[in-house]
Chains A and B, each alone.
Chain A
Amino acid sequence: MATDFWASSHYKRWIVDRGTLKESRSDDLQYVDDPEYLDFFAIFFANVITKLGKKLNFRQRVIATAIVFFRRFYIKNSYCETDPFIVIAACCYVAGKAEESPVHIKNMVAEARLFFSQQPYGVKYFPSDNSKLAEMEFYLVADLECDLTVFHPYRTLLSICKKESSNDLQTEAGEVGVGVDDGPRYWGSGDGQLELPDDAFQLAWSIVNDTYRSDLCLLYPPHLLAITALYLAVVLHGPTRELLQQQSHSVEATPVHSSPRRSSRQSSSTSLGHAKKPSQDFVAFFADLNISMPLVATIAQEIISLYTLWERYLEDSDLVDSARGTFYGHASAQTQSGGSHSGVSTPVESLDDAQKPHGATPTFLLQVLTRMRENKLSDMAHASSGRPVAVNKMLERTQAAG
Chain B
Amino acid sequence: MDAVEKANTARQKRWVKDRKVGEGTYAVVYQGREASTSRKVAIKKIKVGQFKDGLDMSAIREVKYLRELHHQNVIELLDVFSSKTNLNLVLEFLDSDLEMIIQDRSLVFLPADIKAWMAMTLRGLEFCHRNFMLHRDLKPNNLLIASDGQLKIADFGLARDFADPGHKMTCQVITRWYRPPELLFGCRYYSSAVDIWSVGCIFAELMLRTPYLPGESDMDQLKTIFRALGTPTEEDWPGHTKLPDYVPVGQFPRTPLRDLFTAASGDTLNLLSRFLVYEPRRRINARDALNHAYFFALPHPSHPSKLPKPAAQTSRPLEELDGNVDMAGAGPGVKAAAPNKLKRKLTSPDGTDLRPLARRLDFTQHAKHS
Contact = CB atoms under 8 A, between A and B. Distances in A.
Interface of A: 1-4, 7-9, 76-77, 93-94, 97-98, 100-105, 130-135, 137-138, 141-143, 145-149, 155, 165-166, 168-169, 172-173, 175-182, 186, 390, 392-394
Given A76-B4, A182-B165, A102 B363 contact: yes
A175 B243 contact: yes
Contacts of B238: 176-177
Interface stretch (B30-38, B52-60, B253-261): B52-60
| Ranked 4 nearest A-B pairs via Cβ | A179-B280, A176-B239, A134-B51, A142-B82
A141 B55 contact: yes
Interface stretch (B146-154, B187-195, B198-206, B211-219): B187-195
Contact of B85 (A8, A94, A138): A138
A178 B169 CA distance: 12
A178 B190 CA distance: 5
B70 A393 contact: no
Contacts of B53: 105, 130, 134
B165 A181 contact: yes
B161 interface: yes
Contacts of B54: 93, 97, 105, 130, 133-134, 137
Contact of B161 (A2, A76, A93, A134): A2
Given A3-B131, A141-B55, A177-B240, A146 B63 contact: yes
Contacts of A169: 165-166
A147 B192 contact: no
Nearest to A148: B64
Contacts of A390: 2
B156 to A, nearest CB: 12
B132 interface: yes
Contacts of A148: 60, 63-64, 67
Contacts of A135: 51, 85
Contact of B242 (A104, A145, A175): A175
Contacts of B169: 100
Contacts of B8: 142
Given A142-B87, A166-B165, A176-B239, A131 B2 contact: no
B88 to A, nearest CB: 10
Contact of A102 (B69, B188, B366): B366
A8 B64 CA distance: 11
Contacts of B237: 177
Given A104-B363, A135-B51, A182-B165, A177 B281 contact: yes
A155 B2 CA distance: 37
A13 to B, nearest CB: 9
A178 B189 contact: yes
A178 B182 contact: yes
Q: Which of B51, B65, B132, B281 has the most CB of A within 10 A?
A: B51
Contact of B193 (A76, A137, A179): A179
Given A104-B364, A181-B281, 17 more contacts: A2-B131, A2-B132, A3-B69, A76-B3, A93-B54, A97-B54, A102-B57, A130-B51, A133-B54, A142-B82, A146-B89, A148-B60, A166-B165, A177-B238, A178-B189, A178-B190, A179-B190
Contacts of A132: 51
A180 B87 contact: no
Nearest to A97: B60
Contact of A131 (B50, B67, B82, B283): B50
Interface of B: 1-5, 8, 48, 50-55, 57, 60, 63-65, 67-70, 80, 82, 85, 87, 89, 131-133, 160-161, 163, 165-167, 169, 182, 187-193, 237-240, 242-244, 279-281, 283, 363-364, 366-367, 370
A186 B164 CA distance: 9
Given A138-B51, A138-B55, A392 B82 contact: no
A98 B165 CA distance: 17
Contacts of B242: 175-176
A390 B53 CA distance: 32
Contact of B87 (A7, A146, A168, A179): A146
Contacts of B55: 94, 97, 134, 137-138, 141
Contacts of A173: 166, 188-189
Given A138-B85, A138-B87, A179-B182, A392 B2 contact: yes
B280 A178 contact: yes
Contacts of A394: 2, 4
B132 A1 contact: yes
Contacts of B189: 173, 175, 178, 180
Nearest to A181: B191
A128 to B, nearest CB: 14
A218 B105 CA distance: 55
Contacts of A77: 4
20 contacts: A1-B163, A3-B132, A3-B133, A9-B67, A76-B4, A97-B60, A100-B160, A102-B57, A102-B367, A104-B364, A105-B54, A130-B52, A149-B65, A165-B166, A173-B189, A175-B187, A177-B238, A179-B279, A180-B190, A394-B4
A367 to B, nearest CB: 27
A134 B48 contact: yes
A1 B80 contact: no
Given A165-B166, A168-B166, A3 B239 contact: no
B36 to A, nearest CB: 21
A330 to B, nearest CB: 32
B239 A177 contact: yes
Q: Which of B50, B64, B187, B238 has the most CB of A within 10 A?
A: B64
A320 to B, nearest CB: 22
Given A2-B132, A168-B166, A390-B2, A149 B51 contact: no
Contacts of B161: 1-2, 100
Q: Which of B2, B70, B163, B242 has the most CB of A within 10 A?
A: B2
A146 B80 contact: yes
A94 B238 CA distance: 39
Contacts of A93: 54
A105 B363 CA distance: 10
